[in-house]
Amino acid sequence: MRNTRVVVIGGSHLGRHLSESLTARGADVITASPRHGEHIDLADESSIKRFAEAAGEIDHVVSTAAMPANGPLDDLDAEGIRRAFDAKVVGPLLLAKHLRVTRSFTFFSGVAAWRPQRHRTVMATTNGAVKFLVEALAVELAPVRVNAVAPGIVDSGVWPADFLSTTADRNLTRNVGRPEDIAQAVLYAVTNPYVTGTVLHVDGGGRLAG
Ligand SMILES: NC(=O)c1ccc[n+]([C@@H]2O[C@H](COP(=O)([O-])OP(=O)(O)OC[C@H]3O[C@@H](n4cnc5c(N)ncnc54)[C@H](OP(=O)(O)O)[C@@H]3O)[C@@H](O)[C@H]2O)c1
């Protein structure tokens, strides 16, 4: 990854781990988000444009951004739903529009799309949309490659221990993910020159488990 400029959007949890992991492999990493590193807000096109102008040419972009809108439908409002789509769908489209990227984009989907649950309808829909987004953008932006990583539950420091152990019992692999498992998948998407329009499921088979 030496002499490679990578923008990682999102500086908390998986984004932070990913930035550290790419930096350790010699990449020149720019972290950007509303709260960490350079400022970017995927819900605000002007901030994306400003970021793009300052950043110049970039080899790879990885976006971990998420603004989930969970809960019963009665509790959801249009603004929250739109923010969830801004992070996972509209924002990535605007990144593709404004950033000068020469090699690849990697976006984050998630197992919620393949295992819908009550009160997680927006999360399932936005993560599912990422699958079609990367297929369409791969065609649109070729030869720049566009992929997604779809994590299952990852022990990123936020989930309670009992939830992690129940999830591990249910997963086909009998474990939950570690941030390094996700970083490894991102590295594959970023570096493999023959992979585009693909969703890499890194979920312990959770989407297939009974
Ligand atoms: N952790 C899991 O178990 C799991 C499971 C399935 C899928 N995923 C997916 O993996 C990705 C990373 O997960 P995570 O656990 O690291 O999530 P997280 O801690 O909630 O991080 C989400 C990131 O999104 C960034 N963000 C929020 N609003 C944004 C905006 N308007 N513009 C730009 N960035 C914005 C945040 O930036 P700041 O740095 O400023 O806070 C934060 O770094 C997410 O897409 C999530 O859906 C995670």
The CATH number of the domain where 60 resides is what? 3.40.50.720
Long-range contacts of 156-164 (CB under 8 A, 24+ apart): 156/13, 156/14, 156/17, 157/13, 158/13
The mean pLDDT value of the chain amounts to 98
165 belongs to the catalytic site: no
Average pLDDT of span 158-185: 97
Give a yes or no: residue 208 inside a domain: no
- pLDDT band for position 210 (50/70/90)? confident
Dihedral of CA 17/19/21/24: which sign? negative
Which atom of ligand 1 is nearest the CA belonging to 13?
Answer: 16
Give a yes or no: residue 148 inside a domain: yes
Give a yes or no: residue 103 inside a domain: yes
Which atom of ligand 1 is nearest the CA belonging to 153?
Answer: 3
What residues make up the domain containing 88?
Answer: 5-196
Give a yes or no: residue 202 inside a domain: no
Q: What are phi and psi of 206, to 5 degrees?
A: -60, -30
Give a yes or no: residue 180 inside a domain: yes
pLDDT at 137: 98
For residue 110 and ligand 1, the question of a CB distance below 6 A is answered with yes
What confidence tens digit (pLDDT) does each residue in 26-59 have?
A: 999 999 999 999 999 999 999 999 999 999 999 9
Percent helix / strand / coil, the chain, rounded to 5 = 45, 20, 35
For residue 45 and ligand 1, the question of a CB distance below 6 A is answered with no
pTM, 2 dp? 0.98
Residues 6+ apart with CB under 8 A from 56: 100
For residue 148 and ligand 1, the question of a CB distance below 6 A is answered with no
Residue 176 has pLDDT above 90, yes or no: yes
Give a yes or no: residue 158 inside a domain: yes
Q: What are phi and psi of 183, to 5 degrees?
A: -60, -40
- Residue whose entry in the numeric block shows the structure tokens 């020469």: 102
Catalytic residue among 21, 63, 104, 109: 109
Average pLDDT of span 57-85: 98
Q: Apex CA 21: angle with CA 146 and CA 2, to 5°?
A: 75
For residue 153 and ligand 1, the question of a CB distance below 6 A is answered with yes
Give a yes or no: residue 152 inside a domain: yes
Number of domains in the chain: 1
pLDDT at 106: 99
For residue 133 and ligand 1, the question of a CB distance below 6 A is answered with no
| Cα 66 to ligand 1 centroid, rounded to whole Å | 4
Q: Which of 190, 91, 109 is nearest to 148 (CA)?
A: 109
Give a yes or no: residue 201 inside a domain: no
